[in-house]
Amino acid sequence: MTAKTPAALCRRFNTLLIANRGEIACRVIRTARAMGLRTVAVYSEADADAVHVALADDAVLLGPARARDSYLNIDRIIEAAKKTGAEAVHPGYGFLSENADFARRCAAEGIVFVGPTAEMMEAMGSKSGSKALMEKAGVPLVPGYHGEAQDEKTLADAAAKIGYPVLAKASAGGGGRGMRVVNSADELSAAIVSAKREALAAFGDDRMLIEKFVLNPRHIEVQIIGDSHGNLISLLERECTLQRRHQKVIEEAPSPTLNAAQREAVCAAARKAAGAVNYVGAGTIEFVSDGKETFFIEMNTRLQVEHPVTELITGVDLVELQLRVAFGEKLPLTQDQITLNGHAIEARVYAENPNKNFMPSVGRIRTWQTPDKVDGLRIDAGYTEGKTVSPNYDAMLAKVIAWAPTRDLAISRLNRGLEETDVRGVITNIPFLSALITHPDVRANRIDTSFIERELAKLTPAETALTELELGAAVGAILQSEKIAAGRDAHSPWRASGWTAVGMRQRNFVFRQAEGERRVALRYGSGSSVLAIDGRELSFASSASARGGLDLVLDGVRHHVAGLLDGHEVYVRTRNGRFEVHWVDPFGTEDEEQAGADRVVAPLPGTVVALLVEEGAAVEKGAAILTLEVMKMEQTLRAPFAGTVKQLKCKVGDIVAEGVELAEIEPKG
C-alpha cells in the first residue's frame, strides 16, 4: 500500500473540530467561523465552562481533567469528530499538534488533518532526525550528538567531545520541557535523568540529544507555509530571545538583530530546510545565533504561540492560510508578495507569581479587564471573568500583542496594554512583563537568552511603600464598593452621604502592608472632602470612571486609577505600579494566614515524581527534598532549615493536593 500524497489528504470541508483549548482554540474558531465553517470544540470536565466551549457551534466532552484522559486521548477526539460530522481537525499547538500517530489516524479515518502529514512530522518533528536531514541538505547545524544510542556512556562521551557547556534536551517536543544546560561532566548524569523524566511525562518519549550550548545566544525563527502543489514561502522572521528556562516570554517581528542581508539568508535557509521534505502546512524553522553565525536547531511542525506578530507585520492570517492549504488550494501569495510593515511585539500573560520563582497560580478569575480596542493593540485570550484556571494545564491566560511603525513605539504600546490589563483572583506575571519590556537593555536590544535570569532581581523588585496616591485610590476603592453594595440594599446606611457609625464627619482607615500600617482619615466638609495622610490634608473626590476603574481627584490633580476591594484585600493600580494592601476593617474580623514557611508542603496540586533524600538524612537549609510536577513543569521543594528528615509523607507517583505536608524536617538541635 503506497502512502497517500499530500494532495490526496486535502479537500474542501464544512465542519472543523479544534482539538485544543484556551486562547488558541478561541483564535482558530474565530477565523474558521469568519470563513463560513461550522466549528466544534472539545473539552474536559475541568473546562466545561471554558470560553472556547461557548464560542464554538457545538462542543463534545472528552473526559476527566487529566490531559491523557481528554485532550491527549486520540480515540475520544476521533469519536467526537464522527459524532458531530466534523470532516477536519485543527490541532492548535501543544497536546497532539505534533503527534504523527494522531495525524496518521485522522488520515485513516478520512478526516482532514490541518497540518503536515505524519511522515513530514516524523522527519522534522524529531530533533535528532531533522538534524540529520538538515545536515544532508546543507543547512548549518549546532555541533552536537543526534544518534540513536541513549546509554549514559555514549551521551557522556558525546558531551566531552563537544565540550562544555552543553545542552541536553528531549528529541521530541518543545516548550523548554526536557531541556537542561549542563556546565560540567559532574552535572551531566543528574541533568539527563531529570530531563528524561520530564520529557517522558510531557511527550511520551525520553530520547535525548546533546548539543553545544551557544554562549550569549539569540533565538531566531522563520515562519514558513507550503501547499500541496509544491509552493513554499517564508513569512519573514521572529526573534524570541527573551526566554526563561527555555520558555519564550516575549516575541517580536522582525528580529531587531538582523540586517536585510542576514534576513534574506536566514529565510532562504528556512525554505531550504522545509523544502527538504516538501513540507505542506504551517511550520517554524528555529535557529540560534551567536551574533556571527546562525545554526539550525529544530523545526516545529505546527502553528506557534507567537504567530500573531508575523500576522501583524505581513497582514496575513496564518490560520486562514492553514485552512486554505487543507482545502487543497494553492497559496494565494508568492514569495515576492510578502512585505514587511512595521514592528510587532507580543507578551505571554501567565497565571504565575514571578516573586515566588514563577509558581503557578490557580483559582477563579474574579476580575478580567483589558484595554478598549485601540489601533495597534491585539489581545488573544482564552479566559474571561468568572472562569477557573486549572492546575491540569499550561498556565498561559492570554497574549497581549502590539504593532507600530517602529520597534520603540511598539514596545511603548505593548507596555500601555499591559498596564491597563487587570486580572484578579489569580496572580499573574503582568508586572514582570512590563518591567521586562521597559528595561533599558531590552529597548536597546542588548539581550541574549539568559538575560531574564541575570536581571531577575531587577525585574521582580520588592513591593514599594504606598504613596498618597495609592492610599487615596484604596479609600476610593472601598467607597465605590460600599456604594455598589448600597445600591443593592435600599436600607443600607451607606446610602446616606458622609454616614459614619458614630455620627462623626470623619472616617478612619487603617491599611497594612509589608512595611507596616498606614492610617488615613477621610473628613467630610460642606460639599467637599479631604484626606489626612501623615499630617497633610489633601482635597479628595472619587467616582466610577466611564473608562472603567476610578476617577480620583487628589490635591487638585485628577488621576485615572484602578481599584478593587475583595474582602479585606484592596488592589490598586496607579501610575506608580500595582499594589496589594490589607484593609483593617473596624467592623470585621481578621483571619490570620498560616505562612507555612517552616514546612515542606505542596504549593499546588501536583504529582510526586522524585524523592531526593531518605528518612533519617541530615540536610542543610535549602537542600532538595523532593520534586513535584505541577502544571506540566517540575518544581523542587527544599528544606526550610537545617535538620534531619524525620518522615517522608509521600511516595513517587502520589497525586497530592495543595497545602498537604509532604515531608517532616526535625530542626537541628
CA 363: distance to chain centroid? Answer: 16
DSSP state of 354: G
**Phi/psi of residue 442, each to 5°?**
-70, -45
Q: Whole-angstrom Cα distance, residue 445 to residue 586?
A: 51
Asked about 578 being catalytic, the answer comes back as no
Asked if residue 199 lies in contact with residue 208, where contact means CB atoms within 8 angstroms, the answer is yes
CA distances from 636 to 190, 512, 639 (A): 14, 32, 10
Q: Whole-angstrom Cα distance, residue 463 to residue 579?
A: 8
Pick from 393, 371, 373, 396: nearest CA to 383 = 396
Q: Are strands 166-170 and 179-182 parallel, antiparallel or unpaired?
A: antiparallel
DSSP bridge pairs for 352? 360
**Phi/psi of residue 168, each to 5°?**
-95, 125
Which residue among 21, 302, 507, 573 is the active-site one?
A: 302
Strand extents, DSSP E, 575-623: 577-583, 600-601, 606-611, 618-619
Pick from 361, 350, 421: nearest CA to 578 = 421
Q: Whole-angstrom Cα distance, residue 282 to residue 302?
A: 6
**Phi/psi of residue 109, each to 5°?**
-90, 0
Q: What is the DSSP string of 59-101?
A: EEEEESSSGGGTTT-HHHHHHHHHHHT--EEE--SSTTTT-HH
Q: Whole-angstrom Cα distance, residue 378 to residue 400?
A: 6
Q: Whole-angstrom Cα distance, residue 621 to residue 640?
A: 6
Q: What is the CA radius of gyration of the chain?
A: 27
**Phi/psi of residue 650, each to 5°?**
-155, 170
Q: Which residues are catalytic?
A: 302
